[in-house]
Structure 1
Amino acid sequence: MRYDLVIFDNDGVLVDSEPISNRLLAAYLTELGHPTSYEDSIRDYMGSAMHRIHDLVLERAGERLPDDFDDVFHGRVFAAFEAELKPVAGVAGVLEQLAADGVPYCVASSGSHERIRVGHRTTGLDRWFDESRIFSSQDVGRGKPAPDLFLHAAERMGVVPERCAVVEDSPLGVQAAVAAGMDVYGFTAMTPADRLQGATQLFSDMGQLADLLE
């Protein structure tokens, strides 16, 4: 293995949550008077922390989202997760391989700690991620595309940035990993390859990842 640490994004990389959360986000924003299609949500918000949604709506519409927006949205998302969420196909095999090879790994997500835990518990991925392997944008001042979250995860895991590989599926995440000085593997299952420019390598099937990291 040519890396000392593999850092996974969560939504769309470990858990197949992007279709669920973007469908619900588009519907909720539309309900609040900010017409948003599923495609708009994927383009503008996929991979971003909650504060970016607030910032973009304020910038575009000149109005703030309701104070309880995050709580209402997460309530809807978690309910849908319980009914629909699955792990990304092939990711359990990747984690099994890393564990067998003794390669350290962790998750660094724009989502909250609660969102990460709910997703992992629902899909059974919690067996691979204890508290010491979970990092959220809540832990740092700035979310992706700033490099802060990835740098924080590497520091806590005791690995220098240039020995880290990041697995990402959003343009913001790829930008953050590049800014952190890390190699980044762009997962194109939901994101067109041309939107992940800057990635060290692109791949479309999670089953390919273990070989790519070697």
Structure 2
Amino acid sequence: MQGILFDFNGTMFLDSDLHEEAWINLIKKYSKQELSEADIIHSIHGKTNDIILRHFISADLTDEQVEQLSDEKEAYYRERVLAHPERIHFTKGLEAALDTLKANQIPMTIASASPKVNMDFYWETFALAKWFDPEKIVYHNGTFPGKPAPDIFLIAAKKIELAPADCLVIEDSYSGLQAAQRAQIGTIVAIDPFGKNRGIFEAEGLAKDGVIEDFTNFISTYVK
């Protein structure tokens, strides 16, 4: 492992339940579909907004409608984040890990399915400039297919000037782990802070290099 590609939501920031709440609110408002746990695992987390909206609301949504609905969902989500200031912090152990990686000049970036409006929010809220180059962060901008396609990690690896085989991906989502596999990432680690998905990840061989709960022992385990 020579460089690290971080997913953000549910990985660096434990906000998966807030995204779920925002999606359930939006889908109930515009659709009669009910979301199951399987829907959330396989068809929500890690997916881009356009894919989610066309799957759960209507395959016939125009690009303009997708943009409007996406903006509505993300505004609701950010309101929920700001309503819980006590939760606005990195996953346990992550800040110390980032400091160590930065001090040792390990190339790293963020590869997230989030839209730019959310990445801008995170950039300010979490002071990401302390560790990351904004030009190297990859987010969903509509120019490449989202997870589980491999593109996001291939682009991110290129931005830190490494081959995918020389990178480590840390991901919390089913789709994200599939994308890492398809990108032929050398080291793939899942994070499952609440023990909800470990069984699925391990049963399907999606986290070949382990499942962690937080970043407490990340450096000693994965950075040699």
Q: For the superposition of Structure 1 and Structure 2, which TM-score range results when normalised by the shorter chain? A: 0.7 to 0.9
Query: SS state of the match for residue 107, structure 1?
Result: strand
Match of 2:214 in 1: 205
**Greater displacement, 67-76 / 27-36:** 27-36
Asked if structure 1 preserves the Cα contact closer than 8 Å seen for 2:91 and 2:214, the reply is no
Count of paired positions = 210
Deviations 1:141-163 (A, max 9, x none): 10100000100111121101110
Deviation at 1:30, TM superposition (A): 1.0
Q: CA separation of 1:91/1:31 partners in 2, compared to 1, >3 Å: closer, same or farther? A: same
Query: Is the counterpart of residue 8 in structure 1 residue 6 in structure 2?
Result: yes
Tell me the C-alpha RMSD between the 2 structures. Answer: 2.2
1-structure distance, mates of 2:129, 2:26 = 29
**Greater displacement, 196-205 / 119-128:** 119-128
Gaps of 5+ in 1: none
Match of 2:22 in 1: 24
| Correspondent of 1:188 among 189, 192, 196 | 192
**Greater displacement, 32-41 / 117-126:** 32-41
Letter in 2 for 1:82: L
**Greater displacement, 152-161 / 114-123:** 114-123
TM-score where L is the length of structure 2: 0.84
Q: CA separation of 1:128/1:83 partners in 2, compared to 1, >3 Å: closer, same or farther? A: farther
Q: CA separation of 1:55/1:73 partners in 2, compared to 1, >3 Å: closer, same or farther? A: same
Gaps of 5+ in 2: none
Query: SS state of the match for residue 184, structure 1?
Result: strand
Asked if structure 2 preserves the Cα contact closer than 8 Å seen for 1:22 and 1:41, the reply is no
Match of 2:153 in 1: 150
Query: SS state of the match for residue 198, structure 1?
Result: coil
Letter in 1 for 2:211: L
Query: SS state of the match for residue 83, structure 2?
Result: helix
Report percent identity of matched pairs: 21
2-structure distance, mates of 1:140, 1:157 = 19
Deviation at 1:178, TM superposition (A): 0.7
